[in-house]
Amino acid sequence: MDYREEMKKLRDYLNEQGYLYYVMDAPVIPDYEYDRLLRQLEDLEAAHPEEITPDSPTQRVGGRILEGFTPYAHEVPLESLQDVFDGEEVAEFCQRMEQALPHGVAYSVEPKVDGLSVALEYRNGVFVRGATRGDGRVGEDVTENLRTIRSIPMTLPDKLPRLIVRGEVYMSRAVFQQINDEREVQGQPPLANPRNAAAGSLRQLDPKICAQRRLDIQVFNLQLSDGKTFATHSETLDYMASQRFRVIPHKVMEKTGDVQKEIAWINEHREEYPFDIDGAVVKVDNLSDRTVLGSTAKFPKWAVAFKYPPERKSAQVLDIVVQVGRTGVLTPKAVLTPVRLAGTTVTNATLHNQDYITEKDIRIGDTVLVQKAGEIIPEIVEVDFSKRPEGTSPYLFPQNCPVCGAPVQRDEDGAAIRCTGAECPAQLLRNITHFASRDAMDIDGCGPAVIQQLIDKKLISNAADLYALKAEDVAKLDRMGEKSAENLIRAIEKSRGNDLGKLLFGLGIRQVGEKAAKVLSAHFQTMDALLSATEEELTQIPDVGDVTAKCIRDYLTSPQALDLIGRLRQAGVNMKSTLQQVDQRFAGQTFVLTGTLEQFDRKTAQSMIEARGGKVAGSVSKNTTYVVAGEAAGSKLKKAQELQIPILTEADFSRMLE
């Protein structure tokens, strides 16, 4: 078979399987087989790049990093809807429609997805552009990010000259939970809610980040269609479904009472949708009638959005328990008498932190009003003090970690209270994952999935146990053969010789990031010297303030930390600085690296600057001394020019190093 035919056959087959998986939720081949065929197509495209087409599934992973988003003027405005809040207002809307349209009215009722509205444009059946709603008339071109959404078809069965559809981009509740679980392991703050997560993801300048967020879309309106006409809105929805869009569920009805019942039904079954909803939309179905009705200055007259109020119910606080998260933060929750709320039975509610409990004066035994925050997490809104039992007392956090017994400590800059234990079992996965990460001990192949299996099989109980692992034990893990096990053991062995700075960063000392760890390594040279340093001595070091110094001393004097460091020392892990300080020619100077350097990679250039007393920052500011600009330098170079900061070529930088 000719390679062109083979590539087309693979593209068509994989796109069909993608449609069945991402739109129809009915996969017919296993993930392994899909990935194998995708790799086959990638190899063919690498050999014949001139044959890559926009609809290839390989083009959905995100391309170049964008400098910014360009404005996009919507040919058909993306109008917002007038909100209504009760059944009476719905009845008034229907009455107005029936008076204006005496021949009879049919309504389409749909759930209102809580996401980010976008327009998708197709020419001759090929996706060419996508933009956010913006103010309804001008949005932002986010085409590259929208390409990463697997449920958006890149080509359509019908090749209309032009087609524009409108949809709502969202992050499913399941994906939202998975991402927050991953962020917790990595010590990152959780995403606030699915809507904000979707909006933030779609506006990432790096499409690869958007691709990792696994966004989805529900298409709910046909904005423009050249060469095809329709009589009703419901016909357009059916047509868009035939074009392989994921289309919003909808029902058509004629009576006001039926409309109100459908709105109530959607609310009662909202937990069954994979996406969050914040209401229901009622639209006149006939498109000619819509034209007759027209729009006000703000809204179309032929539709309203019914907004659901947050459901609140009473429950009694049976107990307050404290859980320790993977980052060491102590999180309180209230144990409640069971109550049915927003479609689920609620038995627990988040209490956030000590300040939240104190502010609302929540006590064990109280009767409280509970609602779901953002339709996801149950929380206590207020206390019914009239029902408070006698003899209750204010709730105070424990002074020691309920899991490992180590002292707890409140963040200097926030309300979080953390366990200070270096070997706390509750933080085990997160701590070892951080220890093995690239910027710490750089143990390739030792990610969260592998570490979780090692913990589950009781092969490790702290970071030092990694150095006692044997290849035959690792090979028995899921998805780990002999070769992978040998590679992991080699990576662990190699990490023994890392610089002290990488070890210090890997220990996860609060307030000590990668750069601070390097500074400590260069200054003290040995772990023993650092262990004996006082807070006063620590504060004499650049970039180490009072708070950081206290965190370092608290950590290095705790029994758990001393035990872990002792075990690592016994395992042969290097406890000395390997960075050779050349001189101090760059002392007090801050460099920013941008673009592609030919003679150095970023890490090497950074090490050379630091070995000469300088610092490397990730962004340009008025405190930047020099910007080293390589090929394809972007926004950092532009900002440096605006701030009149000296810009060095790679040749200039090399001369400064000589």
DSSP string, 190-258: PPS-HHHHHHHHHT-SSHHHHHHT--EEEEEEEEEETT---SBHHHHHHHHHHTT--B---EEE--HHH
Cβ-Cβ contacts under 8 Å for 577 (sequence gap 6 or more)? 499, 500, 501, 521, 522, 524, 525, 526
Integer Cα distance of 527 and 535 in angstroms: 15
Integer Cα distance of 446 and 152 in angstroms: 34
DSSP string, 543-609: T--HHHHHHHHHHHTSHHHHHHHHHHHHTT---B--PPP---TTTT-EEEEESB-SS--HHHHHHHH
Phi, psi at 289, each rounded to 5°: -60, -35
Rg (CA), the chain: 30
What element of type H or E holds 263?
Answer: helix 256-268
301 is catalytic: no
Closest CA to 57 of 157, 137, 195, 151: 151
Integer Cα distance of 633 and 109 in angstroms: 50
Query: Do strands 626-629 and 647-648 pair parallel, antiparallel, or not at all (unpaired)?
Result: parallel
- The CB density around residue 71, as the number of other CB atoms within 10 Å, is 10
Q: What share of the chain is helix, strand, coil (3-state, %, to 5)?
A: 40, 20, 40
Integer Cα distance of 321 and 334 in angstroms: 7
DSSP string, 87-137: HHHHHHHHHHHHHH-TT---EEEEEEE-SEEEEEEEETTEEEEEEE-TTSS
Residue pair 505/440 in contact (Cβ under 8 Å)? The answer is: yes
- At 81, the amino acid letter reads L
Integer Cα distance of 300 and 285 in angstroms: 13
Q: What is the DSSP letter of 322?
A: E
Q: Catalytic: which of 112, 333, 372, 518?
A: 112
Integer Cα distance of 13 and 28 in angstroms: 12
Integer Cα distance of 80 and 101 in angstroms: 23
Integer Cα distance of 177 and 151 in angstroms: 20
Integer Cα distance of 374 and 310 in angstroms: 9
Max CA distance (Å), the chain = 89
Distance of CA 380 to the CA centre of its chain: 26
Count Cβ neighbours within 10 Å for each residue of 224-246 and write b for 16 or more, e otherwise.
bbeeeeeebbbebbebbeebbbb
Q: Which residues are catalytic?
A: 112
